[in-house]
């Protein structure tokens, strides 16, 4: 069964460093998402992406964050200058269709620790 | 602002028991509602999706209902098994961009 994959599974970085989290969505999916979950808190929406454009972003998704689909298979989340409060589990998700009507399939997550 | 609440926060039951997990949301203008399972330190596994026009969905031992007007959904698990132990998350989509708003989850423990 097709799955969303994410790399790396764990990343430790120093505050102020740039990190890139990578995701490979399910191959025929057109809509892509990033969420994050700070330890012990709710899963929070960061951004949705379709047709090489951001569809919606949350208040969390400030100028330090960016997303890109550099090729036909990868979807990346970049954090330019990490802060301690960026420490969280980051989940990528994808859906075949959008319009709010489709199941979103999540990857296993990347656990980011900022020291 | 849409808020999603799940009650109870934790639940412990003996194996074989039928159980109900509750989810409530403050704004009834949703596109759909999705139930997920999350195992410790793992990703989210989609269990069921209920469109806003639907009343319920079933998959195996799972049945999810939706009452949009009252802002409630329930996840019914029949004949619970130790393998059902996990955190169950409810999430609503409130726009056509697919943004999911999550509840805090209910952590279920099924004892053998």
| Bridge-based pairing state of the strands B86-93 and A53-57 | unpaired
SS (H, E, C) chain B: CCCEEEECCEEEEECCCCEEEEEEECCCCCCEEEEEEECCCCCEEEEEEEECCCCEEEECCEEEEEECCCCEEEEEECCCCHHHCEEEEEEEECCCCCCEEECCCEEEEEEC
Q: Which residue of B has its CA nearest to A5?
A: B43
Q: What is the DSSP letter of A97?
A: S
pLDDT band at A6 (very low <50, low <70, confident <90, very high): very high
- Residues contacting residue A57 through CB under 8 Å, at least 6 positions apart: A46, A47, A48, A65
Does any CB of chain A come closer than 8 Å to the CB of residue B103?
A: yes
CB B63 within 8 A of CB B79: no
Q: Which residue of B has its CA nearest to A34?
A: B99
Does A60 have pLDDT greater than 90? yes
Does any CB of chain A come closer than 8 Å to the CB of residue B86?
A: no
**pLDDT tens for residues A21-41?**
999 999 989 999 999 999 989
Mean pLDDT of chain A: 93
Nearest to B96 among A42, A93, A100 (CB): A100
CB contact under 8 A, B97 and A103: no
DSSP A40-87: TS-EEEEEEEETTEEEEE-TT--TTEEEE--SSS-EEEEESS--GGG-
d(CA A22, CA A4): 11
Chain B interface, mutation test: which of A26, A100, A109, most B Cβ atoms within 10 Å?
A100
Nearest to B32 among A58, A93, A101 (CB): A101
Q: Which of residues 55-84 of B touch A (CB under 8 A)?
A: none
Taking Cα atoms as reference points, which of B69, B106, B93 lies closest to residue A100? B93
pLDDT band at A84 (very low <50, low <70, confident <90, very high): very high
Question: Dihedrals φ, ψ of B84, to 5°?
Answer: -80, -10
- Residues contacting residue A40 through CB under 8 Å, at least 6 positions apart: none
Residue found by looking up tokens 């999810």 in the block: B64
**pLDDT tens for residues B4-51?**
999 999 999 999 999 999 999 998 888 899 999 999 888 899 999 998
| Helix (H), strand (E) at residue A18 | none
Angle at A105 between CA B96 and CA A2, to 5 degrees: 130
d(CA A7, CA A9): 5
Angle at B76 between CA B73 and CA B81, to 5 degrees: 145
Give A58's contacts in chain B (Cβ within 8 Å): 99
């Amino acid at each position: 069964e097709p799955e969303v994959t994410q790399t790396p599974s764990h990343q430790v970085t120093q505050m102020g460093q740039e990190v890139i989290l990578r995701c490979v969505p399910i191959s025929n999916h057109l809509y892509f998402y990033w969420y994050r979950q700070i330890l012990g808190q709710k899963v929070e929406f960061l951004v949705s992406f379709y047709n090489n454009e951001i569809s919606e972003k949350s208040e969390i998704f400030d100028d330090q964050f960016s997303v890109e689909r550099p090729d036909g298979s990868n979807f990346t989340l970049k954090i330019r200058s990490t802060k301690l409060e960026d420490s969280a589990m980051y989940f990528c998700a994808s859906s075949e269709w959008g319009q709010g009507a489709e199941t979103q399939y999540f990857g296993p997550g990347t656990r980011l620790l900022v020291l | 602002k849409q808020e999603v609440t799940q009650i109870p926060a934790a639940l412990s039951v003996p194996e074989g028991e039928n159980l109900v997990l509750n989810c409530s949301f403050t704004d009834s203008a949703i596109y759909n509602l999705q139930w997920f399972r999350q195992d410790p330190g793992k990703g989210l596994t989609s269990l069921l999706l209920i469109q806003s026009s639907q009343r319920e969905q079933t998959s195996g031992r799972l049945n999810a209902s939706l009452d949009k007007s009252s802002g409630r959904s329930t996840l019914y698990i029949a004949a619970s098994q130790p393998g059902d132990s996990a955190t169950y998350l409810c999430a609503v989509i409130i726009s056509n961009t697919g943004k999911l708003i999550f509840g805090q989850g209910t952590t279920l423990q099924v004892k053998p």
